[in-house]
């Protein structure tokens, strides 16, 4: 129980109206400090992304696939509340936003690696291969695919009968909800592993493969080619590493018991996944533009 909120259990079948986010329990008066920090980060994230998009739209010389892909990465998700409970519908909405954000990010980074591969390995054919129609298709597919997949995942999870409503995180997660199920969740766990393999491991393999091809061209090419590769790929690689780091923090929190970890650290790790990538992208690509 927290703040008059009770665990709602009805035998083996639980109809939940809300979930309790227990990671907030230890915040105390620090919640005001968290609020100020998150508010400042949110404003900075919003302003930096909007400014970068405006620069891209105004300067026609920046109307290149790399920066058009960057625009599609802008999905701002901030979860800040002084209440430790969240309704069931809002909980699944959070799951939809979080998984859509992560899925779109990794798929877009994969498409961007293909764009960099063409720019460095096939510079003379770049504009003929990367047409406007192809760019639009490469942007649309991750959004359409990500939406359908996440909706299917949420429908699968929402069909579970739950025997608890305490989520040991600062926001809802699909695996966190699945762990509250009364029945056997083997099929759901297998589905989650397949989801992770297809949508994280395979894109990462494709990215590694494209960079192996890029490095092969660089090592056998001129100094000018190597310099172009460094200036072209550095922002993308930095963005990829930053995203993998944040996603790793999120996966560890979801899959392992984090009760022994201080609440402050758990909140920080969650905020890193939610906010650092949208803050990091405008910085890296903005410097590249300049």
Statement: 18-289 belongs to CATH 3.40.1400.10: no
Pairing verdict, β 18-21 and 166-167: parallel
Residue 138's Cα: distance from chain center in Å? 18
pLDDT at 77 over 70: no
pLDDT at residue 60, rounded to an integer: 59
Residue with tokens 């509340």: 81
How far apart CA 175 and CA 189 sit, in angstroms, is 8
Distance between first and last Cα of the chain: 53
How far apart CA 196 and CA 9 sit, in angstroms, is 31
How confident is the model over 167-208, as pLDDT tens digits?
A: 777 677 888 888 888 877 788 878 878 888 888 888 999 999
Alpha helices (H) along 166-262: 174-178, 186-196, 202-220, 223-255
For the chain, the domains span 18-289
282 vs 67 pLDDT, higher one: 282
Q: Which of 94-108, 256-270, 271-285 has the highest mean pLDDT?
A: 94-108
Residue 29's Cα: distance from chain center in Å? 29
Task: For residue 6, name the pLDDT band (cuts at 50, 70, 90).
Answer: very low
Residues 6+ away with beta carbon under 8 Å from 114: 138, 206, 210
What are the CB-based long-range contacts (under 8 Å, 24+) for 30-34?
Answer: 30/264, 31/82, 34/80, 34/267
Residue 174, both tokens: 């699909």
285 vs 113 pLDDT, higher one: 113
Instruction: Output the pTM of the full model.
Output: 0.74
How confident is the model over 18-34, as pLDDT tens digits?
A: 776 665 555 556 667 76
């Amino acid at each position: 129980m927290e703040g008059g909120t009770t665990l709602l259990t009805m035998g083996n079948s639980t109809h939940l109206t809300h979930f309790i986010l227990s990671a907030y329990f230890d915040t105390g008066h620090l919640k005001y400090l968290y609020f100020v920090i998150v508010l400042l980060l949110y404003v900075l994230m919003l302003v930096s992304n909007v400014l970068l998009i405006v620069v891209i739209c105004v300067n026609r010389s920046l109307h290149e696939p790399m920066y058009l892909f960057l625009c599609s990465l802008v999905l701002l998700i901030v979860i800040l509340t002084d209440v430790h409970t969240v309704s069931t519908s809002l909980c699944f909405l959070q799951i939809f936003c979080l998984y859509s954000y992560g899925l779109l990010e990794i798929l877009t980074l994969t498409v961007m690696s293909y764009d960099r591969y063409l720019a460095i390995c096939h510079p003379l054919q770049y504009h003929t291969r990367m047409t406007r129609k192809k760019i639009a298709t490469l942007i649309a597919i991750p959004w359409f695919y990500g939406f359908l997949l996440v909706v299917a995942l949420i429908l699968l999870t929402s069909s579970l009968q739950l025997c608890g409503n305490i989520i040991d995180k600062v926001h809802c997660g699909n695996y966190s909800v699945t762990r509250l199920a009364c029945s056997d969740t083997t099929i759901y766990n297998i589905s989650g592993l397949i989801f992770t393999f297809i949508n994280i491991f395979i894109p990462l393999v494709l990215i590694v493969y494209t960079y192996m091809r890029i490095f092969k061209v660089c090592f056998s090419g001129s100094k000018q080619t190597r310099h172009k590769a460094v200036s072209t790929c550095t922002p993308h690689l930095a963005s990829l590493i930053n995203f993998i780091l944040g996603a790793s923090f999120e996966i560890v929190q979801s899959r392992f018991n984090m009760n022994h970890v201080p609440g402050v650290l758990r909140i920080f790790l969650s905020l890193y996944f939610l906010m650092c990538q949208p803050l990091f992208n405008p910085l890296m690509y903005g410097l590249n533009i300049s």
